[in-house]
């Protein structure tokens, strides 16, 4: 059943479902926004790779609370 993975008719069915769900009028705007987002992500990733002065991310380990607060002593 799944020996060949995705076949062309699977992609056709997915495309039809997407068009029915989102409508044909919103698809160009959605595709344009997705393309813009991908371009921005690609340029930011490239800028991070090219910037040698960028500091390494610091991993913080969780710290324990300072000193436990002692409950008030009841005098009776």
Give the tens place of pLDDT for each residue, 16-62: 898 888 888 888 888 899 999 999 999 999 988 887 765 666 666 76
Domain around 34:
24-50
**Does residue 12 sit within a domain?**
no
pLDDT band at residue 15 using 50, 70 and 90 as cut-offs: confident
**Does residue 44 sit within a domain?**
yes
**Does residue 69 sit within a domain?**
no
Q: How many structural domains does the chain have?
A: 1
Structure tokens at 13: 């069915």
**Does residue 4 sit within a domain?**
no
What CA–CA distance (Å, rounded) separates 53 from 19? 46
**Does residue 30 sit within a domain?**
yes
What are the residues whose beta carbons fall under 8 Å from the beta carbon of 19, sequence distance 6 or more? 27
Secondary structure of residue 48 in the 3-state scheme: helix
| Model pLDDT, residue 19 | 85
**Does residue 71 sit within a domain?**
no
Residue 1: HSE in the Cβ half-sphere, 13 Å Cα cutoff: 0
Q: Alpha helix locations (H) across 1-76?
A: 8-22, 27-50
């Amino acid at each position: 059943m799944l020996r060949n993975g995705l076949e062309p008719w699977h992609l056709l069915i997915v495309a039809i479902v997407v068009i029915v769900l989102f409508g044909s009028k919103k698809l160009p705007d959605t595709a344009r926004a997705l393309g813009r987002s991908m371009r921005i992500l690609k340029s930011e990733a490239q800028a991070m790779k090219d910037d040698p002065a960028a500091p390494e991310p610091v991993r913080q380990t969780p710290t324990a609370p300072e000193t436990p607060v002692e409950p008030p002593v009841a005098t009776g």
